[in-house]
Structure 1
Amino acid sequence: MFHLRDVTRQFGKKTAVSSVTFDIPPGQMVGIIGRSGAGKSTLLRMINRLVDPSSGEIEFSGVKVSSLKGAALRNWQRDCAMIFQQFNLVPRLDVLTNVLLGRLNHRSTISSVLNMFSREERIMAVGALERLGIEQTALQLAGTLSGGQQQRVAIARALMQQPKVLLADEPIASLDPLNAKIVMDALRDINERDGITVITNLHTLDTARNYCERIIGMAHGRVVFDGQPKNLTAAAVAEIYGADTAIEESMTSTTINIPAAVPQEQTASASLKPLALAGL
């Protein structure tokens, strides 16, 4: 169980997140929506402790995350994996090595420096790529992949951490609708099949409605909506986005119908493969 109590972050005189309080039960898929600058990314970064709260408490399963330091903090950042809009891959390394980097917090410093990944870890990495439908890219340089493929590599790397929580900061913001659907299908599969809590920032309302069982709306650093998608009314949307007129959600739609003829590598997440540990 996540508990956030009066979590606030200030940057100088600017308050990016103000007195945020909510609980998230295990295994929930939560979408956080709001305008640019509403505090969504700062909130996720505080949960992962990439940014420290100015005040307030973050607690997970009885552990005060907001007070962790040293090895305990590194362990938390292993258990709370983060996926970024910019993918954060190493372009000059092949895909398999990028995925294996997700194991660094599970390894000793010496073995990490020497890049000594075990056979079991390599099998695990190939299995993660298979699950995301991109195992054929394992030996390609990460920088040669499309944006959608790179984001799936980033998800595979996060799976290698064997996390308890998965945070995704605008994971589909730079993707076309087809790749956005593939990535969101993958996140939902991880949430449903593995029971991992997923918290994701989203900029498309229909995506939040279709994929998340709970939506948190932020405006000016505060939570102004917290509930099920069916309760996200036009009035609530107007409060979140500060709009005087109704917002047409289809303008930024990621709701698409994928024809049966589309090749498997493009629709892998529609029927994601089990984590394979064989075939290496």
Structure 2
Amino acid sequence: MSATSATLEIRGVSRRFGKNTAVSAVDLSIPQGQMVGIIGRSGAGKSTLLRMINRLIDPSQGSIFFDGTEVSRLQGSPLRRWQRDCAMIFQQFNLVPRLDVLTNVLLGRLNHRATIANLLGVFSREERAEAIAALERLDIARTALQPAGTLSGGQQQRVAIARALMQQPKVLLADEPIASLDPLNAKVVMDSLQDINLREGITVITNLHTLDTARTYCNRIIGMAAGKVVFDGPPEDLNREAVRMVYGADSKGGEISEVITSTSVTIKQRIAASTGPLEPAFPGY
């Protein structure tokens, strides 16, 4: 595959759960190297779309291609290779809490290795060095020997990103990676994803609830509502009308305030100044 020309193509993709349609006839073309933010209300279909791209679930209809290969039809070892090339980061981190941080990161190499090596749990000196380098890049190498379950949420998410880097992916999917984090840790995580996108040219597609984050970090924003794509364009085109298409109106029929969707430290401080203090200080990261 060409890392400079590989395009992700989503063609007429739908997903139904019983009588409910979570994603409806989505068509998208995402060139290699874009950083894409998918926004929308809870239940808009954002997570379902990412899970179909990674093949954690299958489309009910339509096809997904990457660099000309129909990944929505892959089975067996070709499917495992795709899930290696298309790394996934989850809101819940999906680490093994009792294992140390270094071992959690090394687990990202499993689909690159022979089965016997995986069964024996033996990692090479080169793999360990690569894992430490990934942790250093994310400024958490000092936690390498700690059980992953002892880390803060922001630290655990950075471990999950380091593990994804060990897969040497061509596409990086992040499903609400900052939804459970405070504003300072959210910034650290989004800075890390942006750095990976810019330095390696890896396509990054991330689901986000917050408009300010999408505008700050993504060069393309896709808005979903009721399973359909209702906006697709650069951040500067995400105007009031576009926001209304994505989020609808408030209970009184008025415009949705962007303040309530913001992770901005300054905005939260303004809210605190007018309504009282926020929850105590941000956890360490």
Count the aligned residue pairs: 259
Question: Residue 249 in 1 paired to residue 258 in 2?
Answer: yes
Question: What's 1:125 paired with?
Answer: 131
Question: What's 2:25 paired with?
Answer: 19
Question: What's 1:181 paired with?
Answer: 187
Deviates more, 1:144-153 or 1:234-243: 234-243
Query: Which amino acid in the other structure matches residue 178 of structure 2?
Result: I
Deviations 1:3-53 (A, max 9, x none): 111001011111110000010011000000001100000000000000100
1:159-174 equivalences under 5 Å are 159-174=165-180
Deviations 1:246-267 (A, max 9, x none): 222233323347xxxxxxx95x
Query: Which amino acid in the other structure matches residue 28 of structure 2?
Result: F
Query: Which amino acid in the other structure matches residue 79 of structure 1?
Result: D
Distance across 2 between alignment mates of 1:132 and 1:250: 29
Question: What's 1:142 paired with?
Answer: 148
Question: What's 2:271 paired with?
Answer: none
Distance across 2 between alignment mates of 1:249 and 1:110: 52
Shift of the alpha carbon at 1:162?
0.2
Asked whether the equivalents of residues 27 and 191 of structure 1 are also in contact (C-alpha less than 8 Å), the reply is: yes
Consecutive aligned runs of 4 or more in structure 1 exceeding 6 Å deviation: none
Q: How does the TM-score come out when normalised to structure 2?
A: 0.89
Question: What's 2:105 paired with?
Answer: 99
Distance across 2 between alignment mates of 1:141 and 1:191: 29
Q: Could you list the runs of 5+ residues in structure 1 that have no partner in the other structure? A: 258-264, 267-280
Distance across 1 between alignment mates of 2:104 and 2:152: 15
Q: Could you list the runs of 5+ residues in structure 2 that have no partner in the other structure? A: 1-6, 267-283
- Residue 218 of structure 1 aligns to a residue whose secondary structure is strand
Distance across 1 between alignment mates of 2:240 and 2:123: 51
Distance across 1 between alignment mates of 2:44 and 2:262: 21
- Residue 186 of structure 1 aligns to a residue whose secondary structure is helix
Question: What's 1:222 paired with?
Answer: 228
Deviations 1:120-151 (A, max 9, x none): 00000000000000000000000000000000
Shift of the alpha carbon at 1:239?
1.3
Question: What's 2:238 paired with?
Answer: 232
Question: What's 2:11 paired with?
Answer: 5
Distance across 2 between alignment mates of 1:63 and 1:252: 37
Query: Which amino acid in the other structure matches residue 238 of structure 1?
Result: R
RMSD over aligned CA atoms reads 1.1
1:193-204 equivalences under 5 Å are 193-204=199-210
Q: How does the TM-score come out when normalised to structure 1?
A: 0.91
Query: Which amino acid in the other structure matches residue 159 of structure 1?
Result: L
Asked whether the equivalents of residues 93 and 157 of structure 2 are also in contact (C-alpha less than 8 Å), the reply is: yes
Asked whether the equivalents of residues 19 and 222 of structure 1 are also in contact (C-alpha less than 8 Å), the reply is: yes
- Residue 245 of structure 1 aligns to a residue whose secondary structure is coil
Shift of the alpha carbon at 1:2?
0.9
Question: What's 1:78 paired with?
Answer: 84
Identity %: 74
